[in-house]
Structure 1
Amino acid sequence: MQYYSTKDKHTKADFPQAVFQSLPPDNGLYMPEKLPRLEEAFIKKLGGFSFPEIAFRVASALLEEAISASRLREIIDEAVNFPAPAVPLGKDTYVLELFHGPSLAFKDFGARFMSRVMAYFLEQQTRPLDILVATSGDTGGAVALGFYDVPHIRVTILYPSGKVSPVQEQQLTTLGKNIRALEVKGSFDDCQRLVKQAFLDPELSKTLQLSSANSINIARLIPQTFYYFHAWAQLQQAGHTAPPVFSVPSGNFGNLTAGVMAWKMGLPVARFVASTNVNDEVPVYLRTGVFEPRPSLHTLSNAMDVGNPSNFARLLELLGGAEDMGGLLSGYSFTDEATREAIRSVFTQHGYVMCPHTAVAYLGLQEFRRESGTGNPGVFLSTAHPCKFPDVYETDMQPAIVLPEQLASLNGKQKQAVVMENDFSQLKEILLRG
């Protein structure tokens, strides 16, 4: 399958090129030339397949013959080796827990799949690979753990100083070896801008083999489609027949884009809800038809603090403008105060502790249900384990947060990070220095 640029459909690449380039030369984003429709019989019987089996079928359709079937199975079995349960939470409501991987965030799916895909293609090369990634929180830890000690790959992670949680910072700054952390005096948008500048810099492109593990990379996006199909499989097992409403906590909009891709491939979906914090550029666009990027604001749900979401261009490719998007997509934004109230309310009613991002998704689902009166089952995505945000929770809630084994490995490790200005020349010097 060929992949084209969102800025020019004539700019194309095969899958390995798209993976290693990350961005097309015109600074667009790669998209599959076509989204294959999965067999209706397969969709109807999803409940009879395991998560890795579903992931293999979806990946095979998207990648065609870019990777041999036997190796693709190996990649899937290694990357998708932890659960993503749809946990019932009230009548016809489910929380899709995507935080059971090594970094305790949904981005483990993309990072682990992508690292193994890259390692597969690098077997045929001798030139080392430099991964460059910006993070607003969870991406950094997922990429660090997903690529840790992978041969022939060096990872450089840019994160905004003082704007990630202590656990998130610990995950991306304590590994060492082939993982390098750069603490940028700026916002996530600044980090993302620096990364994009690096990819467009002729000297860096000539000297280094640069690639990205942000959701701008199509290899990060593809595995995020897997758990939408798996969620529907679990709802089938629970006896549901009506298509679900998916509420997605949204920052850079890769997660929602993957859901729309799954829908295009045949997944039954009644509605997608783009749930954001006060960084509400897309909800505003859905209401007004005007997209106005602006500097991001810092919130409790820090991984969603994005003022100019990269994957918005992909949503436009998949759905068209605001009027066309409105047939499938609703958007709502919520304050930190509302987020805290939702965390408290769900804990009081169900004894369940949500991370701030999950709480925003919960609020989005509730708001859509109030507006629409829909009786369809609702699934809101839980993208991070609550233990990553200890300062958010009141004293009585903290005993209910069970610390996972993944955190034990971080105990006693020292932070290793280079503090840098929000300055591209400094980033370029660091990269060229090696």
Structure 2
Amino acid sequence: MQFYSTQNPAHRVGLKEAVIQGLAPDQGLYMPVEIPTLPADFFQRLPSLSFAEIGQEVIGALFGDSLSEAEIRELVEHTLQFDAPLVEVEPGIYSLELFHGPTLAFKDFGARFCSKLMALLLAGESRKVRVLVATSGDTGSAVANGFYRTPGVEVVVLYPRGKVSVLQEKQFTTLGENIVALEVDGVFDDCQRLVKEAFLDAELREQMLLTSANSINVARWIPQALYYFRAFAQLPQPVGDVAFSVPSGNFGNLAAGILAARMGLPIRYFVAATNVNKVVPDFLNGADFQQVPSVQTISNSMDVGNPSNFSRLLALYGGDEKALRAQVKGFYFDDPETAPFHAAGASGAGLYAGSTWCSRLYGGEKLHQNPIGSLPRCLFRDGPSGEISGCGGRNLRLGAGAAGALGSISFRGEKGGPSWQRFCGF
């Protein structure tokens, strides 16, 4: 598979270069030159396929010209050692549980895929690889644990002081060995800027082999598409129109869902659900895209003021902003809407019961007018960030329109404890 830079489509590299470079020399993100469409019989068989079988067919279609069948099987089996169950939380609303990995975060899928793929691509390399990763919480945890004790790889995690939850900070600062954590006096965007500057430092890159494990790296970004297929496979058959509500910070998760749609998965709408770091929802609602300093919130994993994957969103629609806005709807939610349930979570009711989703379902609704109507929704659940995704799905359903009845799925990526349904009023 060939990849091009979002900054310069003429700049093309192979899979190994895209993964090891992480970021293109012109600061663009790598995108597949061609996105394969999966055959019709794959979708007919999808409900009967296991997660691993789905992974082998999807990754085979993408990387089959770069990896052997045995390597793809090894890669998928290493990545998908835990499932992503789909749970119906009320009629037409489903939650995809992505918290069954080792750090309870949805990024465990991408981190494990990335570490194994790098190991396969770097077999025989004599130089040590240094993986630089900026985090506002769950990325650092997932990447550190995914690469822990991987031979020939050192991971350096940069995180903003005082802006990462205590649990997540301990998940990547207490491992030692090949995992190094650096606390930065700033915000997530500062950490991300430092990582990008390191990649663009020619002298530094001559001295050491640097790469990234943030979602800017195709090896972290692409495998996130797999659980969209897994979610769809678990919906009641026959499946009608479906919308996915996605908690969004750096927007790799949403971009992966659109990638799945480009491969043929019949998704009608997406919801980009954020906290008050809302540059993308503002854009989706008609404003010009303009990066801003990030604002600290209690959903800290989503505190991103300049999301890197925005360029991928545009690339997936061929630069057509109108088409992007037509399929992706944007909503944002602030801390006061979340605070009552965040307090409930802190009291022990659930690990991440502090929930924008919960507070929005439980309290007053702001009804957003949109053309979608009442859709079955798939809601990604990811602690406070995933509850925001549920809020987006809820607003999607409440929006007035004439699109008919659709299903919706949300993603739940950090375990909220057994009481989360009670807090949501289910």
Gaps of 5+ in 2: 342-355, 364-380
Tell me how many residue pairs correspond in the alignment: 387
After superposition, what is the alpha-carbon deviation per residue over 1:322-351, rounded to whole angstroms, capped at 9, x for unaligned? 312122110011111223464257689xxx
In the other structure, the counterpart of 1:333 is 332
CA distance in 2, matches of 1:258, 1:218: 10
Report sequence identity in percent: 48
In the other structure, the counterpart of 1:316 is 314
In the other structure, the counterpart of 2:345 is none
Deviation at 1:14, TM superposition (A): 0.2
Going from structure 1 to structure 2, the CA distance change for 1:372 and 1:258 (only over 3 Å counts) comes to farther
Are the counterparts in 2 of residues 285 and 322 from structure 1 also a CA contact under 8 Å? Answer: no
Are the counterparts in 1 of residues 247 and 411 from structure 2 also a CA contact under 8 Å? Answer: yes
Write the letter of the residue equivalent to 1:151: P
CA distance in 2, matches of 1:376, 1:152: 48
SS of residue matched to 1:327? helix
CA RMSD in angstroms comes to 2.0
After superposition, what is the alpha-carbon deviation per residue over 1:19-74, rounded to whole angstroms, capped at 9, x for unaligned? 00001111101000010000011112210100011011111111122111112101
CA distance in 1, matches of 2:293, 2:238: 42
In the other structure, the counterpart of 1:426 is none
CA distance in 2, matches of 1:326, 1:366: 19
CA distance in 1, matches of 2:194, 2:413: 26
Deviation at 1:243, TM superposition (A): 2.5
Going from structure 1 to structure 2, the CA distance change for 1:176 and 1:102 (only over 3 Å counts) comes to same
In the other structure, the counterpart of 1:367 is 395
In the other structure, the counterpart of 2:376 is none
CA distance in 2, matches of 1:326, 1:253: 15
CA distance in 2, matches of 1:75, 1:347: 42
The answer to whether the aligner puts 1:268 opposite 2:266 as a matched pair is yes
In the other structure, the counterpart of 2:222 is 222
After superposition, what is the alpha-carbon deviation per residue over 1:337-382, rounded to whole angstroms, capped at 9, x for unaligned? 223464257689xxxx972111100110111111145521110111
Write the letter of the residue equivalent to 1:73: R
CA distance in 2, matches of 1:372, 1:242: 19
CA distance in 2, matches of 1:36, 1:276: 30
Are the counterparts in 1 of residues 105 and 382 from structure 2 also a CA contact under 8 Å? Answer: no
In the other structure, the counterpart of 1:256 is 254
Are the counterparts in 2 of residues 54 and 229 from structure 1 also a CA contact under 8 Å? Answer: yes
The answer to whether the aligner puts 1:111 opposite 2:139 as a matched pair is no
Alignment of 1:268-417 (within 5 A): 268-319=266-317, 320-339=319-338, 340=341, 342-344=357-359, 355-373=383-401, 374-386=404-416
Are the counterparts in 2 of residues 85 and 97 from structure 1 also a CA contact under 8 Å? Answer: yes
After superposition, what is the alpha-carbon deviation per residue over 1:163-219, rounded to whole angstroms, capped at 9, x for unaligned? 111110010100000000001111000000000000001111110100000000001
Are the counterparts in 2 of residues 215 and 254 from structure 1 also a CA contact under 8 Å? Answer: yes
CA distance in 1, matches of 2:231, 2:361: 21
SS of residue matched to 2:313? helix
SS of residue matched to 1:338? helix
SS of residue matched to 1:89? strand
CA distance in 2, matches of 1:79, 1:399: 28
CA distance in 2, matches of 1:88, 1:215: 29
In the other structure, the counterpart of 2:374 is none
Gaps of 5+ in 1: 388-395, 402-434
CA distance in 2, matches of 1:367, 1:398: 19
Are the counterparts in 1 of residues 361 and 394 from structure 2 also a CA contact under 8 Å? Answer: no
CA distance in 1, matches of 2:422, 2:288: 43
After superposition, what is the alpha-carbon deviation per residue over 1:265-322, rounded to whole angstroms, capped at 9, x for unaligned? 0001010000010000011111224001000011111111000000000001012343
Are the counterparts in 2 of residues 5 and 28 from structure 1 also a CA contact under 8 Å? Answer: yes
CA distance in 2, matches of 1:240, 1:173: 47
Are the counterparts in 1 of residues 275 and 302 from structure 2 also a CA contact under 8 Å? Answer: yes
CA distance in 1, matches of 2:420, 2:106: 22
CA distance in 1, matches of 2:131, 2:91: 44
CA distance in 2, matches of 1:372, 1:28: 38
Are the counterparts in 2 of residues 343 and 354 from structure 1 also a CA contact under 8 Å? Answer: no
Are the counterparts in 1 of residues 361 and 391 from structure 2 also a CA contact under 8 Å? Answer: no
Alignment of 1:187-206 (within 5 A): 187-206=187-206
Give the structure-2-normalised TM-score.
0.87
Give the structure-1-normalised TM-score.
0.86
Deviation at 1:397, TM superposition (A): 5.8
Going from structure 1 to structure 2, the CA distance change for 1:398 and 1:191 (only over 3 Å counts) comes to same
Write the letter of the residue equivalent to 2:412: S
CA distance in 2, matches of 1:259, 1:355: 19
Write the letter of the residue equivalent to 2:264: G
CA distance in 1, matches of 2:71, 2:45: 25
Going from structure 1 to structure 2, the CA distance change for 1:321 and 1:281 (only over 3 Å counts) comes to farther
CA distance in 2, matches of 1:271, 1:386: 26
CA distance in 2, matches of 1:128, 1:118: 12
Are the counterparts in 1 of residues 382 and 411 from structure 2 also a CA contact under 8 Å? Answer: no
Alignment of 1:86-101 (within 5 A): 86-101=86-101
CA distance in 1, matches of 2:382, 2:150: 33
In the other structure, the counterpart of 1:153 is 153
In the other structure, the counterpart of 1:208 is 208
Deviation at 1:131, TM superposition (A): 0.2
CA distance in 2, matches of 1:241, 1:117: 33
Are the counterparts in 1 of residues 299 and 384 from structure 2 also a CA contact under 8 Å? Answer: yes
Are the counterparts in 2 of residues 289 and 323 from structure 1 also a CA contact under 8 Å? Answer: no
